Amino acid sequence: MRIVIFSLYTIYSMYKMIKAIVYQKKEITKHISNLICTLLTLSLCFEVYKIFVALFGPKLDKFFEANNNEGIRQILLQLTLFMLIMGIFLISNKIYENELEVRSMTDSLTGLFNRNAFDQLAKMKISKAERNNMKLGLAICDIDHFKRVNDSYGHSIGDKILVEFSNLIKNNLRIEDLLGRYGGEEFTILILEMEESNMILKLEEIRKEIEKNIFLINSKNININASFGGIVFNPNDMDIKKAFNIADNALYKAKELGRNKVIVQSI
């Protein structure tokens, strides 16, 4: 009776696990989820077999005592253990591969997309905009006089400012917008479905948030400003490289005019 009760509880637990995996296939790869489900199903069958032997087989003092069924039980047990080990190995390997992929796409300091990842994701956004004839807003942002911050407070504080700065910009964008660290203190923004007048308002909003924000780093209150150069373009009429050049020239003009400014180039 103890065998039957324990096996029924185990069967119920395995059923819940299989159900959870089936509903969460998006979280793990198909071949791994199939392997785990196979493993659990095999173990479930083994528990059913134990119940059958306990109820209808010869009287047992110990379930795994030597008898004609010992060979089958041992094969099932060894196969179950083998598949469990393989499942754990494959899952661990996949998790490691996913971590490497994420690391290759993100900036190690800020956690934003790095330059390569931004370029690749921008291509996907541009393809969508081309199909729907949508305009895109592209902006390049640069922290004003960031070298002075590093020289005055040290690079460790400069790094913390970069992290807070990137979070501030990210919090002022929509989830579908794209933000990346292009290098140093330079960041790039790609905004879907944007008109020039709205682009100016959005960048001014972010600029003012940066200007009024007090960066509290190691008990030091630090104020910084940022300059923005941008352009609104239709990817059906202009490629991304040209748009980047125009946005970069607009950023240069913003710095020439005294920094802490937004310049959106008209086309």
pLDDT tens, position by position, 82-130: 666 566 656 656 666 666 666 677 888 999 999 988 998 999 999 989 9
Question: 48 lies in a domain?
Answer: yes
The count of structural domains within the chain is 2
- Asked if residues 49 and 74 have their Cβ atoms less than 8 Å apart, the reply is no
Q: How far apart are CA 262 and CA 198, in angstroms?
A: 13
How far does CA 153 lie from the centroid of its chain?
A: 32
pLDDT, tens digit, for every residue of 129-188?
999 999 999 999 999 999 999 998 899 999 999 999 999 999 999 999 999 998 889 999
Question: 110 lies in a domain?
Answer: no
| Burial class of residue 61, CB neighbours in 10 A (0-12, 13-18, 19+) | exposed
Residue 101 has a pLDDT of 64
Q: How far apart are CA 259 and CA 235, in angstroms?
A: 29
Domain end point (choices 87, 105, 123): 105
Between these two residues, 18 and 60, which has the higher pLDDT value? 18
- Domain carrying residue 35: 2-105
Residue 27 has a pLDDT of 47
Percentage, residues of the chain above pLDDT 70: 65
Residue 66 has a pLDDT of 46
Residue 21 has a pLDDT of 57
Cβ-Cβ contacts under 8 Å for 40 (sequence gap 6 or more): 14, 17, 18, 21
Task: Answer yes or no: do 141 and 27 share one domain.
Answer: no
- Asked if residues 179 and 107 have their Cβ atoms less than 8 Å apart, the reply is no
Domain end point (choices 105, 139, 172): 105
Task: Answer yes or no: do 97 and 145 share one domain.
Answer: no
For 240, the enclosing helix (H) or strand (E) is helix 240-256
The tokens describing 92, both together, are 């661990």
Task: Answer yes or no: do 100 and 213 share one domain.
Answer: no
Task: Answer yes or no: do 89 and 140 share one domain.
Answer: no
Q: Kindly list the catalytic residues.
A: 185
